[in-house]
Chain A
Amino acid sequence: MKKVMRVLIKKGRIIDPSQNIDFVGDLLIEDGKIVGIERNIEIKEKIKIIYADKMWVLPGLVDIHVHLREPGEEWKEDIETGTKSALYGGILRLACMPNTKPPNDSPEVTLYIMERAAQKAYVTIYPIACITKNQEGKIITEFGRLKEAGVKGVSDDGKWVQNSNVMKRALFYAKNFDLAVISHCEDSTLSKGGQVNEGFFSAKLGLKGIPTSAETIGVIRDLILAKETKKSIHLAHLSTKEVIPFLKWAKEEKIPFTAETCPHYFTLTEECVENYNTLAKVNPPLRTQQDVIAIKEALKEGLIEVISSDHAPHSPLEKEIEFELASPGMIGLQTLLPLSLNLIKEGYLNPLKLAEYLILNPSKVLGVIPPSFKREAPAEVIIVDPEEEYILSEDMIKSKSKNTPFLNQKLKGKIKMVIIKTKIFDLSN
């Protein structure tokens, strides 16, 4: 007789945006599937019970913007270490960006990633392919064959498709295959050579500034193309208050779009680049306090409704060098949830809404069934202590790279346990 594996999570605060529920109760998992979700579940037989008093029980987070660096830059990160870091961050599915070496612009590279994921990954990977061959902004990639190989969306991440006609073509063609189109909005004719936000700190450090207009013009063009093609566009990692009025306008016009931001854009300001701190060099750049507040307001209003990490690992070879030579980006898988929890504390979002931004909405953008506690759904469960405080040490970071301004800083909110189907990961130590 086959042995049934059962786990009962008791008395946790269960938050499931796919069913719009938030209550204290019990969750029963059987053979890797959700079988019960009630105020109180009593089981007579002896089974594994996890007591989750004062804990939050959530479906796994979905991170739509991650750089895993494999293939080609494995000294920074690989599929194994990146997904392990994701697991420790409560992220059980992630979309990996195509700016690998070679870039993911062909089914062969996608299949390589899928194969490596099958062998090494701790969590589910959704590859994102390039919009154009070699991210050159000229010839669109084989969306059909890429989709068959496992791709969920396309993006020339880091390189905005500057040619509007190519972008329009890509939006049309993506309709044939129901692929998400993700855009890193940046008019590089304005941002070329830029290092930090244009303003006080570009003057102070004598570095070329990146004006907010580079991002705003990108957003406006992409929204207009989405309107014209009637194909939804996903606007990645928005950073500036200047784009917000245009998001509002797009909502009024019923233009199909979704907008995303990252914890660093609602947590940090440009002051972090003081004294040429390369850990705070990121693209788009950290902006001002007014931008931080506007991004939080936009989250509250639902103009921005996806939060991603934009996890961008770099080794000291890319960071302990001259600022202008340093690569932009910071790691973020293990800080995504703790930093996002601040939005609740500050009154911008309630827990259910935050869960929607971290789980449900990114799933919708990628066109996948979201992680859920509906009966018969595969178990993808994270148990979080939202109150636990700790210092983020190098040892705790499972990524190969440690490039984050939050290193050795105090964080609040810790992933205690993860359940993926029949596997239980106890992360409390």
Chain B
Amino acid sequence: MNEIGGVPLFFLEFGDIVTYFSPFTLTLFLLALVFTVFVVVSRPERQIDIAFGADAFFAKEISLPELRFRRFMAIACGLACMGAMVTGDVFDFTLFVSLVGICNVGIVAAVRTYHVRDAAYQYGLVALAGTVPLFSAAAMVAATTGTLSMLELASPAAPPVPLIARALLVLGVMGEGMAPFYAAKAEMFRAPGAPYVIMCSLSSLLIFLRVTEVVLLL
């Protein structure tokens, strides 16, 4: 099961931390890159909404300071996502995932709508709680196997990773944005600023896909 995402295409070593690109991780990395480029070059849409109590509609505008902050957070989210997609180190993966959670909150926290802010606050609490099992999983992997390298852990000679560590890793990722906590973001998804809001849902799906591979690799 060492080639779950296809045969690795190349390795990029940073000391003892190895980043690797397999067809699977490369696909996810490229998608994160494409949507990050969209965030950089596109301007937000003007969302049309109904004016209740009148036969009228209005367009929601995003102010320049709000746009700048949300774009910064969305770019940070994209970069964290790209890191999470290709890293070959369990601790780095958990670090990038927690960064994705923080950025997701930041992307929508600047929206001046009560419901959206409320959803962002609630999601922030879940993401905060999610970091506990996330980093606990990395600590357990290091304590039981003596390494955090996915490539070493994937080799048949490596000591087995406890099931509880894998379960905590999945639970942590779920807390950072995957289903069912993901549904808490419904209010966030309808916030104006499509290029930035999409980064929230994209990052959630990407980290879910990557954790699937990581859990099967360990």
Q: Do A and B bind each other?
A: no
Taking Cβ atoms with an 8 Å cutoff, the residues of B that contact A are: none
A contacts, CB < 8 Å to B: none
